[in-house]
Amino acid sequence: MQTLDDKYRIFDEKNKAAELGGGTDRIEKQHASGKKSARERIADLLDPDTFVEVDKLVTHRSYDFGMEKNRILGDGLVCGYGKVDGRLIYVFAQDFTVFGGSLSRANADKIVKITKLAMKMGAPLIGLNDSGGARIQEGVESLAGYADIFNLNVKASGVIPQISVIMGPCAGGAVYSPALTDFIMMVKDTSYMFVTGPDVIKTVTHEEVTKEQLGGALTHNSKSGVAHFTADNDEQAMMMLRELIGFIPSNNLDDAPVRPCNDNIYREDEKLQTLVPADPNKPYNIKDIIESVIDDHNFFEVMPLYAQNITIGFARLGGFSVGIVANNPEYMAGVLDINSSVKAARFVRFCDAFNIPLITLVDVPGFLPGTSQEFGGIIKHGAKLLYAFAEATVPKITLITRKAYGGAYDVMASKHIGADINMAYPTAEIAVMGAEGAVNILQRGLSEAERTEAIEDYRIKFANPYKAAELGYIDEIIKPRETRFKLFQALEMCRNKNESNPPKKHGNIPL
């Protein structure tokens, strides 16, 4: 008969074996390639000593290809729950040291189990991806596992925040779980994502491309718009993740955490008085306004390298979390195009789904003209942003800093699509189009001198915020130096906003 000592020894041995995953050699190989192990990543992410592992002793159930002789406790996935800044978080981390982190049926069941727990308890789900994809030895069972995960990703969308970090390979259909989640972070040099890899591409299209060019962190953060954040290494990724989680609520019925605010809410900034140039053709960086007015100048930008003509991200105002959407005249004059519309629309929908008020800063000359935009479907993509803003029922506060022209005026959280408070700087220009364009259409055949005069007349008459203010489309014209307090007052006024859209199964956003 086993003694008590025997029983505890077996318990210890099993735990130790599970914790070693694929073994020390493979962990060292992981380190040598610049990556941390699954457990180290989880330890970096969570508050110390808060991780509770679930399914540590699960093994795969495969008998093909001699797999029955090779069972590793945990089966290449470390998962469970813990805390970030004292708040409950669910996490899974694929362990590349065990069968290349590949997804077995048992391994998928573990992800399904904690996703269901996260949904029931209303807490964010974080996935740390580092995997060779479907467990080849398990065939369709692995594919079924992926589909179960995709299905739950969709069910959980808008209920709990889901965040994916790509920390190694993520290829084939495996990319679709991260793609269904709210945010994707990628680690530079060690991560890549693609549906089909360089070899298949070479065979099919004869293109030659490296893994990094095809699906590295820079590609997806600057070219494809698939990813939202880049981290320099595993450690920085976990730090950024902790910061991101701090801005968002645990679930769709919760509010985002409010932090004590030590930054004077009445703080004025004289620099803002002259930041927006009088010359409407001169650029400036909208981030200078954002960083000036938010708490501690701390802006957590989302997709900073993609469609930079629009700036999006999280910040706090008086301790309250807000989502900021701002045209950035520093890039392409802040014009709205396909990429910027889609980028902002998805962010607006995230904020709306998770009760994060929206602050919109407007300086937009209109939609980008051109065949590539029209052929690419700017009509339906621009409509996404319009739809997202109109659908959003969270507090919506809009400030026009300079240009708000044409359809883009309507789209950028105008009063007419439901903004709660609309403000403008005295430098605002709210009109159907810029003065030159308007005069070209309305008064053809003028001499150069007459044209200059007509442009100036138009500018004086229309390129200002006063007509819109007379009509009540702008609630208040404010001094730039007071922006921080003015935005805070509006936000505070909207604290108990209670608005809902008509009941429906779901809308039909122009996809």
| Residues at the contact surface with ligand HXC, assessed by CB under 6 A | 99-100, 102, 132-136, 143, 146, 169, 171-174
Q: How far is the CB of 136 from ligand HXC (least distance, A)?
A: 4
Catalytic residue among 21, 22, 74, 172: 172
Amino acid at 49: D
Catalytic residue among 408, 413, 424, 431: 408
Amino acid at 112: V
Catalytic residue among 225, 246, 407, 437: 407
Q: How far is the CB of 75 from ligand HXC (least distance, A)?
A: 11
Amino acid at 383: A
Q: How far is the CB of 97 from ligand HXC (least distance, A)?
A: 8
Residue 29 or 259: the one with the smaller Cβ distance to ligand HXC is 29
Known catalytic membership, residue 319: no
Known catalytic membership, residue 388: no
Q: Are strands 125-129 and 162-166 parallel, antiparallel or unpaired?
A: parallel
Q: How far is the CB of 203 from ligand HXC (least distance, A)?
A: 14
Known catalytic membership, residue 173: yes
Residue 70 or 298: the one with the smaller Cβ distance to ligand HXC is 70
Strand partners, 79: 54, 92
Question: Which residue is associated with the tokens 């530079």?
Answer: 188
Cβ neighbour number for residue 331 with a 10 Å cutoff: 17
Compute the distance between CA of residue 300 and CA of residue 288 in angstroms, rounded to an integer: 14
Helix (H/G/I), strand (E/B), else coil: 73: coil
Helix (H/G/I), strand (E/B), else coil: 269: coil
Residue 173 or 407: the one with the smaller Cβ distance to ligand HXC is 173
Helix (H/G/I), strand (E/B), else coil: 426: coil
Residue 147 or 441: the one with the smaller Cβ distance to ligand HXC is 147
Residue 130 or 352: the one with the smaller Cβ distance to ligand HXC is 130
Catalytic residue among 158, 173, 319, 376: 173
Q: 318 in the Ramachandran plot: left (φ > 0), alpha (ψ -120 to 50) or beta?
A: left
Compute the distance between CA of residue 94 and CA of residue 100 in angstroms, rounded to an integer: 9
Burial class (CB in 10 A: 0-12, 13-18, 19+), 230: buried
Q: How far is the CB of 93 from ligand HXC (least distance, A)?
A: 16
Known catalytic membership, residue 408: yes
Radius of gyration of the chain (CA): 26
* Angle (nearest 5°) at CA 438 between 432 and 440: 155
Compute the distance between CA of residue 180 and CA of residue 161 in angstroms, rounded to an integer: 11
For the chain, the residue count is: 511
Q: How far is the CB of 150 from ligand HXC (least distance, A)?
A: 7
Q: How far is the CB of 217 from ligand HXC (least distance, A)?
A: 16
Burial class (CB in 10 A: 0-12, 13-18, 19+), 445: exposed
Q: Which residues are catalytic?
A: 172-173, 407-408
